[in-house]
Amino acid sequence: MTPDEQRQPPAERTGEIEHGVDAGEHLEFIEWVEANPDEAKLEFRASGVTEDVANRTAATIGEWALGGEEMGMDREHTLEFGLPPELEDAMGYQEPTDRYEAVEGTLAGLTACINGTVVFNAIRDGIEIDDVTTTVRAPIDLRMLFGIHDVDRAHEMYGELEIDVEVAGDLTEAEKGAVREYYNRSPVYNLVTMEHPNRPKVDFSTPA
């Protein structure tokens, strides 16, 4: 039986708890998204402010929007970015401090999004999985960052991303085939692997 054939309507799965989620309510939410695509559009945001030490930033996450309506006014999460102490020491930092690097933060977000995407779609398709572990590696060439290469060589900065997704569970071959394609639905996977035309706006201010 394929996932499409075994999928049940929301009413039949209400009260069925999978991975801490009521499957029926989850399916109802998906149906709401399908019926109301504009109202279901999300906008997530982050803001980062430099600290006194180079390459250290305090980034904050808080408000977000759903269908144009502001949400999360009481949320405030702070992420402190920097470098591993060995790099800071080699680069002349006077007081090396261990923080996670911005690329590591991005990769961590990618693992979380792929994991969530696999679990969400397994619930939708009625596939029983135990857990998911995603590991990501990104080889980086720093020459463009430090002005050794010009920006026209940006495509050379990264080697191929290595993404390993391990799914635990007793799955049929048809279910395995479905699960193998779930990562393609991950918002962060598509954010980091597809082109998204943009033009950053750079403004200037004078200190008071």
Helix (H, G, I), strand (E, B) or coil at 101: coil
What are the pLDDT tens digits along the chain (208 aa)?
A: 455 555 677 888 999 999 999 999 999 999 999 999 999 999 999 999 999 999 999 999 999 999 999 999 999 999 999 999 999 999 999 999 999 999 999 999 999 999 999 999 999 999 999 999 999 999 999 999 999 999 999 999 999 999 999 999 999 999 999 999 999 999 999 999 999 999 999 999 998 7
Q: What is the pTM of this model?
A: 0.92
Q: Look at the alpha carbons of 188, 190, 193, 194 in this order and tell me if their dihedral is positive or negative.
A: negative
* Integer angstrom CA distances of residue 106 from 12, 102, 112, 179: 38, 6, 10, 23
Each residue of 62-79: pLDDT tens digit? 999 999 999 999 999 999
Q: Which CATH superfamily is domain 101-194 in?
A: K homology (KH) domain (3.30.300.20)
Q: How far is CA 131 from the centre of its chain?
A: 18
183: closest CA among 138, 136, 151, 147? 136
Domains of the chain, residue spans:
101-194
- C-alpha to C-alpha distance for 81 and 87, rounded to whole angstroms: 13
Each residue of 1-34: pLDDT tens digit? 455 555 677 888 999 999 999 999 999 999 999 9
Residue that is written with structure tokens 């149906």 in the block: 31
